[in-house]
Amino acid sequence: MRKFLLEPRFVFLLACWTVFLGMSPSQALAMPSGSVSLFNAAPARDAQIHKILGTLSRPEARAHLVMMGIDSKELEAALSRLDDKQLGLVADRVDRVKAAGDGIGVVIAILVIVLLVVLILKLSDKTIEVKDQK
Protein backbone atom coordinates (compact mmCIF):
# COMPACT_ATOMS: atom_id res chain seq x y z
CA MET A 1 0.00 0.00 0.00
CA ARG A 2 2.81 2.39 0.92
CA LYS A 3 4.55 1.64 -2.36
CA PHE A 4 1.37 2.50 -4.27
CA LEU A 5 0.91 5.81 -2.40
CA LEU A 6 4.48 6.91 -3.16
CA GLU A 7 4.35 6.04 -6.84
CA PRO A 8 5.06 9.19 -8.94
CA ARG A 9 2.10 8.69 -11.29
CA PHE A 10 -0.34 8.44 -8.38
CA VAL A 11 1.14 11.54 -6.70
CA PHE A 12 0.95 13.46 -9.99
CA LEU A 13 -2.67 12.37 -10.55
CA LEU A 14 -3.60 13.41 -7.00
CA ALA A 15 -1.92 16.81 -7.46
CA CYS A 16 -3.75 17.40 -10.76
CA TRP A 17 -7.07 16.45 -9.15
CA THR A 18 -6.44 18.88 -6.29
CA VAL A 19 -5.63 21.71 -8.70
CA PHE A 20 -8.74 20.89 -10.74
CA LEU A 21 -10.97 21.05 -7.65
CA GLY A 22 -9.38 24.33 -6.58
CA MET A 23 -10.07 26.00 -9.93
CA SER A 24 -13.84 25.79 -9.70
CA PRO A 25 -15.58 29.12 -9.09
CA SER A 26 -16.48 29.41 -5.43
CA GLN A 27 -19.64 31.46 -5.94
CA ALA A 28 -21.07 29.63 -8.92
CA LEU A 29 -23.90 28.05 -6.95
CA ALA A 30 -24.41 30.94 -4.52
CA MET A 31 -26.15 33.34 -6.88
CA PRO A 32 -29.34 34.78 -5.39
CA SER A 33 -32.62 34.34 -7.15
CA GLY A 34 -35.12 37.16 -7.03
CA SER A 35 -38.08 34.95 -7.80
CA VAL A 36 -37.55 32.44 -5.01
CA SER A 37 -38.01 33.44 -1.39
CA LEU A 38 -36.84 30.92 1.16
CA PHE A 39 -38.19 32.70 4.22
CA ASN A 40 -40.88 35.11 5.24
CA ALA A 41 -39.52 38.66 5.48
CA ALA A 42 -42.07 39.83 8.08
CA PRO A 43 -40.29 38.40 11.16
CA ALA A 44 -36.95 39.82 9.97
CA ARG A 45 -38.56 43.20 9.40
CA ASP A 46 -40.16 43.14 12.86
CA ALA A 47 -36.81 42.20 14.40
CA GLN A 48 -35.10 45.13 12.67
CA ILE A 49 -37.79 47.55 13.84
CA HIS A 50 -37.53 46.18 17.38
CA LYS A 51 -33.71 46.58 17.30
CA ILE A 52 -33.98 50.19 16.10
CA LEU A 53 -36.60 51.08 18.70
CA GLY A 54 -34.56 49.36 21.42
CA THR A 55 -31.51 51.44 20.59
CA LEU A 56 -33.51 54.65 20.33
CA SER A 57 -35.12 53.99 23.73
CA ARG A 58 -31.78 54.47 25.49
CA PRO A 59 -31.76 57.63 27.66
CA GLU A 60 -29.27 59.59 25.56
CA ALA A 61 -31.10 58.78 22.33
CA ARG A 62 -34.47 59.55 23.93
CA ALA A 63 -33.13 62.99 24.98
CA HIS A 64 -32.11 63.76 21.38
CA LEU A 65 -35.49 62.65 20.05
CA VAL A 66 -37.28 64.89 22.56
CA MET A 67 -35.05 67.85 21.57
CA MET A 68 -35.94 67.22 17.91
CA GLY A 69 -39.64 66.99 18.76
CA ILE A 70 -40.11 63.38 17.63
CA ASP A 71 -42.67 61.28 19.49
CA SER A 72 -42.27 57.51 19.84
CA LYS A 73 -45.57 56.91 18.01
CA GLU A 74 -44.37 59.06 15.09
CA LEU A 75 -41.10 57.14 15.05
CA GLU A 76 -42.86 53.77 14.92
CA ALA A 77 -45.15 55.00 12.13
CA ALA A 78 -42.18 56.31 10.14
CA LEU A 79 -40.29 53.02 10.55
CA SER A 80 -43.29 51.01 9.39
CA ARG A 81 -43.51 53.11 6.21
CA LEU A 82 -39.91 52.32 5.21
CA ASP A 83 -39.30 49.59 2.66
CA ASP A 84 -37.07 46.60 3.49
CA LYS A 85 -33.90 48.06 1.98
CA GLN A 86 -34.23 51.38 3.81
CA LEU A 87 -35.06 49.61 7.05
CA GLY A 88 -31.93 47.46 6.65
CA LEU A 89 -29.79 50.57 6.16
CA VAL A 90 -31.22 52.17 9.29
CA ALA A 91 -30.63 48.96 11.28
CA ASP A 92 -27.01 48.86 10.09
CA ARG A 93 -26.51 52.47 11.14
CA VAL A 94 -28.02 51.69 14.54
CA ASP A 95 -25.47 48.87 14.94
CA ARG A 96 -22.64 51.26 14.08
CA VAL A 97 -23.90 53.88 16.53
CA LYS A 98 -24.20 51.25 19.24
CA ALA A 99 -20.67 49.98 18.57
CA ALA A 100 -19.11 53.44 18.42
CA GLY A 101 -20.99 54.78 21.40
CA ASP A 102 -20.15 51.90 23.71
CA GLY A 103 -16.67 52.56 25.11
CA ILE A 104 -16.82 49.84 27.74
CA GLY A 105 -15.52 47.24 25.28
CA VAL A 106 -12.37 49.27 24.68
CA VAL A 107 -11.82 49.71 28.41
CA ILE A 108 -12.22 45.98 29.02
CA ALA A 109 -9.80 45.16 26.18
CA ILE A 110 -7.15 47.51 27.62
CA LEU A 111 -7.58 46.03 31.10
CA VAL A 112 -7.22 42.50 29.74
CA ILE A 113 -4.01 43.44 27.89
CA VAL A 114 -2.55 45.09 30.99
CA LEU A 115 -3.44 42.07 33.13
CA LEU A 116 -1.85 39.71 30.59
CA VAL A 117 1.36 41.75 30.56
CA VAL A 118 1.50 41.77 34.37
CA LEU A 119 0.80 38.03 34.48
CA ILE A 120 3.53 37.26 31.96
CA LEU A 121 6.01 39.42 33.85
CA LYS A 122 5.03 37.76 37.14
CA LEU A 123 5.39 34.26 35.69
CA SER A 124 8.82 35.06 34.27
CA ASP A 125 9.99 36.51 37.63
CA LYS A 126 10.44 39.99 36.21
CA THR A 127 9.56 43.11 38.16
CA ILE A 128 8.58 46.57 37.05
CA GLU A 129 10.45 49.28 38.89
CA VAL A 130 9.86 52.97 38.51
CA LYS A 131 12.84 55.03 39.64
CA ASP A 132 12.93 58.76 40.05
CA GLN A 133 15.69 60.37 37.95
CA LYS A 134 17.36 63.08 40.08
pLDDT tens sequence across 112-129: 888 888 888 888 887 767
For the segment 13-23, the average pLDDT, to the nearest whole number, is 82
How high is the pLDDT of residue 20? Answer: 82
The more confidently predicted of residues 116 and 31 is 116
CA proximity to 79, closest of 118, 57, 48 = 48
Amino acid letter for position 104: I
Give the Cα-Cα-Cα angle 54, 57, 62 (nearest 5 degrees): 155
How high is the pLDDT of residue 12? Answer: 87
pLDDT tens sequence across 32-72: 555 555 556 677 888 888 888 888 888 877 888 888 888 88
